Amino acid sequence: MDFDDTLPVVQRKSRRQNDPVKTLARRTHAQKWLIATALIGLYVLGILLFWQLGVVQQSTVIVLIGLIGLFLSLFFVIFKAKWHLQFEEKRLKLPIVSCAIASMLVICYLDPASHILFTPFCFIAIAYGMYRISRRSALIMAAVIVFAFACIAGMHYHNWHNPALLKLEMMHLLTLALALPAFISQTGKVQLLHRVLHRASRKIKNIQEDAQRDNLLGCFNRRYTVAALEEQKQLADENGTPLCLAVLDIDHFKKINDELGHLGGDEVLRTFSRLAQEHIRAGDIFGRYGGEEFLLVFPETSLLPALNTCERIRSQVESHHWDSVSQRRVSVSIGVTQYIPGESVLELFSRTDTAMYMAKEGGRNQVVVEEPVPAADKAVPEEE
């Protein structure tokens, strides 16, 4: 039989892809650009207000906008071209923070009135990269900032010979020299806490994934698969999307187990599980129900594409080279059906299991479809 898998099927994501934690992680890339742009915007707003008050020159505003455009374009090209992947720290937080602080130092040199903005926004810039910048790098950056600020103060005094300005800038310099190392020391504790929480989160995630998996076969276990089926049934009821279920049972597995022993039987199960998972589509949920019986859930899938996938699995199992584990041919009988809106999970499973037993009784090594018949169509019309 020739099966057509080109029917329009709703594009869907796998259960893992629907994980809200991973969805959040995918969204943070755009969010980080938004946060960085917002912080830059706050600094620009401050400079514009100072310009309106007449304490900052218009040329300084133009230089600031030019620097922002230059560095944003530079980092956009770097990330777009994926050049950042060549570096150990792929988010380039240290270069980004360095460019931001360098731009603010240039503005400080052009207009001393901007010093009042430099100090708080310098701390904000360092805080922006504190999770990715090591304490050693941050301390070196702090030393460079203090030195650069001292040079700017010296150049201002050399240009204008203004003792009052020099005194004010020395006060700013002293504030930076005292506060920056203390701030970096405190952010180091936050970094440590972040690393501890990250490791704990990964351990919890691994434990959760292990709890969902069959330790022997690597596929989903019965509890997870049944829960996934319940979840997909609810989604089908809510959204009106199709849902299919298949029951797969390895033929003559008891004889295989008797011939090869439990270790050989386990190897057959592992190989079958691997073959099946290699030929299911993204979003299909494959799990072991018990013994040599497996369930395959097809979310948002109509009957014909589900049938096609089952036939691919059956054909692959039949043609696989099994000589290393068994001299007899290994095959699988599969029953598949489509969910009828309103029926229970037990009724859906019962119909699919019946189709699988029909495949067994019909000679095994085949896929049998149990056509979904709505309850209304099953009613026998009354005689007139």
Give the number of C-alpha atoms closer than 13 A to the C-alpha of residue 135, restricted to the C-beta side: 12
- Residue 383, CB-side half-sphere exposure with 13 Å CA sphere: 0
Which of 73-87, 216-230, 370-384 has the weakest average pLDDT? Answer: 370-384
Contact status, residue 126 vs residue 97, Cβ threshold 8 Å: yes
Q: State whether residue 70 is helix, strand or coil.
A: helix
Residue 225: pLDDT band with limits 50, 70, 90 = very high
Rounded Cα distance, 32 and 111, in Å: 30
Q: What CA–CA distance (Å, rounded) separates 353 from 85?
A: 49
The yes-or-no verdict on residue 365 having pLDDT over 90 is yes
Strand partners, 368: 335
- Per-residue pLDDT band for 332 (boundaries 50, 70, 90) equals very high
Residue 262 pLDDT: 83
Whole-model pTM: value is: 0.55
> 382: which 2 tokens?
């009354």
Mean pLDDT of the chain: 86
What is the band of 207 on the pLDDT scale with cuts at 50, 70, 90?
A: low
Residue 324: DSSP 8-state: T
Catalytic center residues = 292
* Phi-psi label, residue 42: left if phi above 0, alpha if psi -120 to 50, beta otherwise: alpha
Residue of higher predicted confidence among 73 and 4: 73
What whole-number percentage of the chain has pLDDT above 70? 86
- In this structure, what token pair is assigned to residue 292? 């040599």
- Rounded to whole angstroms, the Cα distance separating 74 from 233 reads 49
Give tens-digit pLDDT for 237-292: 999 999 999 999 999 999 888 888 888 889 999 999 999 999 998 889 999 999 89
In this model, does residue 16 exceed pLDDT 50?
no
Run of H or E including 294: strand 293-299
* From 35-49, 193-207, 286-300, the region with the lowest mean pLDDT: 193-207
